[in-house]
């Protein structure tokens, strides 16, 4: 139960932070309260490493909707432990960094940390879930928490746009993912991920296999910002820098890659999956790298850098996906090496990219700008940040003596080894190798270019909004620690490889002789093709970075952005939807009722035609006497009278009398529960209307408009005919089976002695749940409106 306890602890800490929103005196320590969450998570997952190494996986399964195989099911295997360590350890550094970055006076700290911990909670749920529906719930929670974090500074237009765009794209991918999971359930009859992987051959033989692949790839590509769904990531940089360092470089964007890793044993059985993932990843890699050198905002450079690096990892996952088809033999060694390289580079990327984002945040926080056109010669003012960003950028570029060099070498080795794989011939190997090399050259270019423009220029040319910046040591501490790990991993890579990456590889390859296929990471493999490619990248990259004026390049070349196409489509959709809504919603209640009733009439008429018209001679008519006849006559007369009466109070009273007549009919039909309900509801509504109208001037209604009244009468009579027809149909027991048999075992199934309660609480549970959600949303809307003026006044004062 330890995973459940850990998630419960994170929720408890969020509740404590929620309490600090009320007490202003505690808000300044909100960051240190939040720091306990990643600290606890980090200790827990580090403690689990020896057990996972020995193959003792932690698993928890709490039955929920067992008939649909939807359960609270968690499993901590090597892959989930690998990602959980990234989430918790990087989260520890980011939360501490946020305590130094955010303002204790201007920022709402508890709200920020609640959102951040909600995201951590969601990501841990994603990577440990062993049930597809549970995974989907956490998957969408990451989108919601990401939206809240991006729009944290909600007064900024760019924050609002970035949050909406990222939310729409990732949620679209999430819906596609859910559809794919439902298809998998239809094929396998289970939502348990471990059971799904065991039935991989059955899925591969299904007609739904290709649609399943497409839908799961849509979920993974949208979350991991792959081309053409990458457009949300640069706009998400409007979030505070701790958010960018955590969500958009180290964790959330890796959720899609985690999904590919987790389902590689299933999806890798198709060459379509291998080609799609490989080439989408390589296209994303080169697209992001080339666009990074066109940016002037340091966070935008890192955003496109992240897109490029994610594409690189995705391409390795695609090439290595063929392991599902060849789990043994020499081919398995090639596939295993490539998958190992993908995991290794994923870890390296989280470290150096997190450090780079933190460095950018320090510069922005202390100078007031991230524009490289206004920054120059900052190496003296920011000596620690200079070293951190320089080492991190060189690691990203794949320079020797840093961890990025090892994974970049393995990447090149995987590309050139593709010729040995059945999916890739000589031509495709040359193509993917060329794309990888060109993208790697641009990776070095934008990394060195950014460092050169910001730190190595003349400090007198800097145009800083804050003329005297300083570099607090505590501010640089998290990024410095992450930077120190970069050369350490280079010199002892197998400590991390054998204890963290190898168990993750076992989980992907289902443990089949994985120890034999996992590579031994070495700093020197002799002079080979990957080394030659690395030398070419370094020589060409340094020359291009130092000799070409990339600022001029960025100004001269204009590229039509996919974001512009998104904006155009969004505005057109907004225009036409707004026009349609304005046409339909014209503030006339009668108009709404007539449209609703006409649509209802058409639907019911279609149903009656399909089911068949009732046979009148079979209709059973209950016994009736003088009281029933008199009551019906009263209802009939009052109904006609309401058409002509123009005084509102008189109409309310007569309408109430009709309601009481219906109560009498219920009593005569021996339905006391319905009569009591009708009596209470009619009394309350009549009193409320009378009280309301008594406070308002009794303004007469307008004169009768014959055409409008005729339409109302026709619609009313049509509804009356339909209702009576439905009653006749319901009385014919032979027309369709009765639904009452469905509730015969209600007590045994639900434990409810009241059949109405059983229907509402169990048989119609989702309907009741959504009704409750509607009330909650309405309440939140009312609360927002009541507090709108107060909040607006506060914003204006700030």
Separation of alpha carbons 234 and 300, rounded Å: 6
Phi and psi, residue 337, nearest 5°: -60, -40
pTM of the model: 0.80
Q: Which of 516, 517, 523 is nearest to 489 (CA)?
A: 523
pLDDT tens digit sequence for 534-565 = 999 999 999 998 888 777 666 555 555 666 67
**What letter would DSSP give residue 739?**
G
pLDDT tens digit sequence for 364-378 = 988 988 888 888 888
Mean pLDDT of 181-192: 94
Separation of alpha carbons 122 and 134, rounded Å: 11
| Mean pLDDT of the chain, nearest integer | 85
- Considering only residues 673 and 738, tell me which one the structure prediction assigns the higher pLDDT: 673
Counts of helices then strands in the chain (DSSP H, E)? 34, 2
Separation of alpha carbons 338 and 685, rounded Å: 71
CB 283 within 8 Å of CB 227 = yes
Count Cβ atoms within 10 A of the Cβ of residue 796 and give its class: 0-12 exposed, 13-18 middle, 19 or more buried.
Answer: exposed
pLDDT tens digit sequence for 672-729 = 888 888 889 889 988 888 887 777 766 666 666 777 778 878 888 888 888 887 777 7
* C-alpha dihedral sign at 112, 115, 119, 120: positive
Q: What is the pLDDT of residue 477?
A: 93
- Considering only residues 111 and 178, tell me which one the structure prediction assigns the higher pLDDT: 178
Highest mean pLDDT among 112-116, 455-459, 646-650: 112-116
Cα 606 to Cα 60, 602, 616, 619, 720, distances in angstroms: 50, 6, 19, 21, 16
Domain ranges of the chain: 268-567, 579-740, 741-798
pLDDT tier for residue 666 given thresholds of 50, 70 and 90: confident
Q: What is the pLDDT of residue 546?
A: 87
CB 244 within 8 Å of CB 237 = yes
Mean pLDDT of 398-412: 92
Strands (E), 420-542: none
In the predicted structure, residue 294 carries a pLDDT above the cut 60: yes
Q: What is the pLDDT of residue 797?
A: 44
pLDDT tens digit sequence for 2-20 = 787 788 888 888 878 877 7
In the predicted structure, residue 80 carries a pLDDT above the cut 70: yes
Mean pLDDT of 60-89: 90
The long-range contacts involving 55-59, CB below 8 angstroms and separated by at least 24 positions, are 55/506, 55/511, 58/2, 58/3, 59/130
Q: What is the pLDDT of residue 433?
A: 94
Separation of alpha carbons 475 and 358, rounded Å: 9
Q: What is the pLDDT of residue 296?
A: 87
pLDDT tens digit sequence for 51-65 = 888 888 888 888 888
pLDDT tier for residue 795 given thresholds of 50, 70 and 90: very low
Mean pLDDT of 644-659: 82
The three-class DSSP label of residue 347 is helix
Q: What is the pLDDT of residue 782?
A: 87
Least confident span in 96-105, 417-426, 436-445, 590-599? 590-599
pLDDT tens digit sequence for 222-251 = 999 898 888 888 888 888 899 988 987 778
Residue 82 CA from chain centroid, whole number: 21
Mean pLDDT of 518-538: 87
CB 242 within 8 Å of CB 100 = no
Q: What is the pLDDT of residue 381?
A: 87
Mean pLDDT of 604-627: 71
58 forms bridges with which residues in the sheet?
76
Separation of alpha carbons 404 and 349, rounded Å: 8
pLDDT tens digit sequence for 310-326 = 999 999 999 999 888 88
Angle between helices 403-417 and 426-451 (to 10 degrees): 160
Mean pLDDT of 142-153: 91
3-state helix, strand, coil in the chain (%, to 5): 75, 5, 20
**What letter would DSSP give residue 27?**
G
């Amino acid at each position: 139960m330890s995973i459940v306890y850990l998630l419960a602890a994170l929720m408890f800490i969020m509740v404590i932070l929620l309490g600090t929103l009320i007490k202003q005196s505690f808000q300044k320590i909100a960051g240190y309260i939040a720091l306990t969450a990643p600290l606890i998570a980090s200790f827990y997952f580090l403690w689990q490493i020896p057990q996972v190494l020995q193959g003792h996986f932690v698993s928890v399964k709490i039955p929920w909707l067992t008939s649909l195989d939807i359960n609270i099911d968690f499993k901590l295997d090597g892959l989930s432990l690998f990602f959980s360590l990234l989430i918790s350890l990087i989260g520890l550094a980011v939360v501490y960094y946020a305590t130094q970055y955010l303002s204790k006076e201007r920022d709402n700290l508890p709200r920020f940390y609640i959102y951040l911990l909600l995201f951590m909670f969601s990501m841990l749920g994603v990577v440990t879930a062993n049930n597809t529906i549970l995974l989907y719930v956490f998957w969408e929670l990451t989108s919601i928490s990401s939206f809240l974090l991006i729009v944290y500074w909600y007064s900024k237009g760019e924050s609002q746009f970035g949050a909406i765009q990222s939310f729409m794209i990732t949620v679209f991918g999430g819906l596609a993912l859910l559809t794919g999971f439902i298809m998998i359930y239809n094929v396998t009859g289970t939502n348990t991920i471990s059971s799904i992987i065991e039935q991989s051959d059955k899925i591969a033989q299904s007609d739904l296999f290709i649609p399943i692949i497409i839908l799961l790839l849509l979920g993974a590509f949208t979350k991991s910002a792959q081309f053409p769904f990458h457009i949300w990531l640069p706009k998400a940089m409007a979030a505070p820098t701790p958010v960018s360092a955590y969500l958009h470089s180290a964790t959330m964007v890796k959720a899609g890659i985690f999904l590919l890793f987790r389902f590689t044993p299933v999806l890798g059985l198709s060459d379509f999956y291998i080609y799609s993932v490989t080439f989408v990843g390589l296209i994303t890699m080169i697209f992001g790298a080339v666009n990074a050198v066109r940016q002037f905002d340091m966070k935008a450079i890192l955003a496109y850098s992240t897109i490029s690096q994610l594409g690189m990892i995705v391409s390795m996952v695609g090439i290595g996906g063929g392991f599902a088809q060849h789990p043994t033999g020499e081919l398995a060694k090639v596939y295993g090496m490539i998958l190992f390289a993908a995991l290794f580079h994923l870890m390296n990327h989280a470290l150096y990219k997190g450090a780079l984002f933190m460095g950018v945040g320090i510069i922005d926080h202390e100078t007031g700008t991230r524009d490289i056109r206004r920054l120059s010669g900052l190496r003296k003012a920011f000596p620690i940040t200079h070293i951190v960003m320089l080492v991190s950028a060189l690691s990203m570029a794949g320079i020797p003596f840093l961890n990025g060099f090892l994974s970049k070498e393995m990447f090149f080795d995987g590309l050139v080894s593709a010729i040995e794989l059945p999916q890739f011939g000589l031509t495709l190997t040359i193509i993917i190798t060329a794309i990888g090399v060109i993208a790697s050259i641009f990776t070095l270019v934008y990394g060195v270019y950014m460092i050169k423009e910001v730190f190595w220029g003349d400090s007198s040319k800097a145009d800083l909004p804050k003329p005297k910046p300083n570099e607090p040591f505590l501010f640089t501490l998290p990024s410095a620690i992450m930077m120190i790990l970069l050369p350490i991993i280079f010199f002892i890579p197998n400590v991390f490889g054998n204890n963290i990456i190898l168990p993750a590889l076992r989980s992907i390859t289902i443990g089949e002789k994985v120890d034999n296929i996992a590579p031994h990471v070495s700093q020197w493999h002799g002079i080979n093709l990957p080394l030659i490619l690395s030398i070419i990248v370094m020589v060409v990259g340094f020359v291009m970075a130092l000799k070409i004026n990339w600022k001029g390049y960025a100004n001269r070349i204009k590229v039509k952005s996919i974001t512009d196409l998104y904006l155009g489509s969004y505005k057109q959709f907004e225009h036409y939807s707004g026009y349609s809504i304005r046409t339909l919603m014209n503030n006339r209640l009668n108009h709404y009722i007539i449209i609703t009733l006409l649509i209802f009439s058409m639907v019911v008429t279609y149903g009656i035609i399909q089911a068949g018209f009732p046979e009148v001679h079979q209709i059973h008519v209950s016994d009736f006497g003088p009281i029933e006849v008199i009551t019906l006559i009263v209802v009939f007369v009052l109904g006609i009278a309401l058409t002509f009466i123009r005084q509102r109070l008189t109409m309310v009273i007569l309408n109430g009398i009709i309601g009481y007549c219906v109560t009498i009919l219920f009593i005569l039909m021996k339905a006391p529960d319905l009569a009591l309900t009708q009596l209470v509801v009619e009394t309350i509504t009549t009193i409320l209307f009378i009280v309301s109208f008594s406070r308002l001037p009794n303004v007469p209604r307008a004169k009768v408009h014959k055409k409008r009244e005729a339409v109302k009468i026709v619609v009313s009579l049509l509804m009356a005919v339909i209702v009576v027809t439905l009653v006749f149909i319901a009385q014919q027991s032979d027309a369709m089976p009765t639904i009452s048999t469905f509730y015969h075992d209600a007590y045994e199934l639900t434990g409810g002695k009241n059949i109405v309660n059983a229907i509402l609480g169990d048989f119609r549970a989702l309907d009741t749940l959504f009704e409750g959600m509607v009330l909650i949303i309405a309440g939140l809307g009312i609360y927002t409106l009541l507090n709108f003026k107060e909040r607006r006044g506060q914003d204006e004062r700030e």
